Amino acid sequence: MPPQPPPPPPSKPLKPYFFYGHRKPSQNRPVVRGGLFTNRQTVKPQPPKNPITPFKPFDLHKWDPQKNLPHQPQPSKPQSPRSRHSLALSQRLSPIARFILDAFRKNRNQWGPEVVTELCKLRRVTPDLVAEVLKVENNPQLATKFFHWAGKQKGFKHTFASYNAFAYNLNRSNFFRAADQLPELMEAQGKPPTEKQFEILIRMHSDANRGLRVYYVYQKMVKFGVKPRVFLYNRIMDSLIKTGHLDLALSVYEDFRRDGLVEESVTYMILIKGLCKSGRIEEMMEVLGRMRENLCKPDVFAYTAMVRALTGEGNLDACLRVWEEMKRDGVEPDVMAYVTLVMALCKGGRVDKGYEVFKEMKGRRILIDRGIYGILVEAFVADGKIGLACDLLKDLVDSGYRADLRIYNSLIEGFCNVKRVDKAHKLFQVTVQEGLERDFKTVNPLLMSYAEMKKMDDFCKLLKQMEKLGFSVFDDLSKFFSHVVGKPERTMMALEVFEDLKVKGYSSVPIYNILMEALLTVGERKRALSLFGEMKDLNKPDSTTYSIAIICFVEDGNIQEACVSHNKIVEMFCVPSVAAYCSLAKGLCDNGEIDAAMMLVRDCLASVESGPMEFKYSLTILHACKTGGAEKVIDVLNEMMQEGCTPNEVIYSAIISGMCKHGTIEEARKVFTDLRQRKILTEAKTIVFDEILIEHMKKKTADLVLAGLKFFGLESKLKAMGSTLLGS
């Protein structure tokens, strides 16, 4: 029997281990609270209902901007180009810059503790990172908060790049006044501004044409002791001159010379062009002489710029003086210089001098553009020298050019002005042969000449030729009559031409309307109404015709027919003209039809986008009669007259209507008495309106009595009583 193993020694009783209090946590031991532990086995407490997830440190390398963005609904409106551009820029940013912009977006682009918490996850923010974010962010308030937050970090100092990006950000959001305060901020933060920072501000203001702001930044630059370079001086003076501040530019030039800087050709040309635009020729000549002495003679481009600047101001004498200076300096003008001078002289009414320059140009065998021929032809035609204009046309053709329609139109008009219609018609035939696209300007002088010479056969032949060539004859005839009418004698001539044309079928509604309106303007209402009668027989009137007829009928005293014409327009589902509304309302007021006039006023304001001012004040007066009586009505009248609207019959009728409905006769008389005392109403007019007031009040009272009888059912008894009285 094998030997038995010895029995195990008796086990030592385990001594319980007690730990009271909170044990300091370490990497190898969990956090343990005080309590009873046996054999280092903790008694697990009950798990909480909402378990707390363990804290995980933020790892920027695992950050996904698309995943961290909260779910947002698709915007109903399309993104603006600026937003799309900012989004495209943000895709090219560094990961940390994208994280910062993502923190802004998650908090709806509003600075707050949530944004600061997100930014504190970063170890540090560098000035280059600040500049990168500010170049993209378009919210100026958020950009400002972020800029100042970054500056408060421990050991952080803004660089010129971050300051410049902040300036661009503020200017991009139109906060340019805040951007101008950056030099003071830089000085306060121990980073004195250099010329570059001021140059950025000057360039931003110059691009936006803020000349006074440019000068303000320049003064601040001098205050900080920063001297601009020649380039920056030129930029400042150019911006001031372009915005009309020549005197400030000259003061800057004095500082330029005081600093001992040497002018460049650009410096002189900026000053010369500014002095040319202001008409200060003597000072310009002084600067020009200084340029010759100190630098060099101006070249042809400089002289052309001077001529163009003087041309824009219409100073032809100074223009010719500069031209002589150019010749004295031995500078040969080029094509652009010649073209600029010829155009200026022709437009300024000096065609003879322009023709001399043109001949000088030909003598030098410089290539002449067809546009110069056209300008000279138009100038000669306007000056009545049609022969020279024809010579230019021949010269143009001999030079190998083909005349355009503009030249032919000028010559046709010139021949018609000198009563050579036959030659004008021949030129018209030439345009047909050349295949040019003719328009109304080509045939209008011919039509006018035939009408003035009463050659209606030739007039109609030209119309038939226009039909064959594809003209819209009726539209062109409407333009012709619109061009003819105006003065009384020309209007009667147009009427005679139309009498001959309508027999041959050349009549249309627009032509009738043009002639009716012209006859009404010259006081020929009877003839206008006769044309209206012809149109009614042909069943052709439109809303414009009826609107003109309303004015004719009202001025003729036939208010009934005017109302019929108004109803015709309503039946056509159209709206009368504002002039027709005003005329008919005045006519109704003169006839004592106050209620009908007020209904017409309301209809006009409801139908027309911008009604007459007196109609609008009429409704205001009706409301004042209801709420305030005579005193409030007088206040409304005073306001109306301050706005430049004089009281007329419609206003007086509104006073009568409002007081008869909401006030008393005495209140209305107070208003009319006030107007008579201020000599707005004559005494005769006051008496007339007082009679209308009494009649309208009687009518309103009778209407109220009749309405009461109808309400109580006494109308039949009243009729029976009336018949009994008549029988007796």
Q: How do the domains of the chain map onto residue ranges? A: 577-718
> 482 CB contacts (<8 Å, ≥6 apart)?
514
The confidence score (pLDDT) of residue 620 equals 92
The confidence score (pLDDT) of residue 721 equals 56
pLDDT in tens, 611-658: 899 999 999 999 998 888 888 999 999 999 998 888 989 999 999 988
pLDDT in tens, 656-667: 988 888 888 888
Cα distance between residue 123 and residue 339, in whole Å: 68
| Nearest CA among 684, 602, 614 for reference residue 648 | 614
How distant, in Å, are the alpha carbons of 220, 276, 316, 352, 376 from that of 334?
44, 21, 19, 21, 19
Cα distance between residue 242 and residue 274, in whole Å: 8
Helix spans in 364-436 (H)? 370-382, 386-398, 405-417, 421-434
The confidence score (pLDDT) of residue 661 equals 85
Cα distance between residue 641 and residue 671, in whole Å: 15
Structural contact between residues 201 and 168, judged by C-beta atoms closer than 8 angstroms: no
Structure tokens that stand for 297 in this block? 């003679």
- The model's pTM is 0.67
Cα distance between residue 59 and residue 74, in whole Å: 30
The confidence score (pLDDT) of residue 724 equals 58
Cα distance between residue 215 and residue 560, in whole Å: 70
| Nearest CA among 682, 645, 658, 637 for reference residue 594 | 658
Structural contact between residues 279 and 315, judged by C-beta atoms closer than 8 angstroms: yes
Residues of the chain scoring pLDDT < 70 = 1-91, 703-728
Cα distance between residue 284 and residue 303, in whole Å: 12
Find residue 17's DSSP bridge partners.
Answer: 37
Cα distance between residue 457 and residue 339, in whole Å: 45
> 527 CB contacts (<8 Å, ≥6 apart)?
495, 519
At 559, which amino acid appears? Answer: I
In 7-143, beta strands by DSSP E = 17-19, 35-37
Q: Which residue is listed with tokens 């009950």?
A: 46
Helix spans in 575-628 (H)? 578-590, 594-607, 613-627
Return the SS3 of 38. strand
Return the SS3 of 194. coil
Structure tokens that stand for 499 in this block? 């009498």
How distant, in Å, are the alpha carbons of 133, 138, 150 from that of 142?
11, 8, 12
> 598 CB contacts (<8 Å, ≥6 apart)?
618, 622, 653, 654, 657
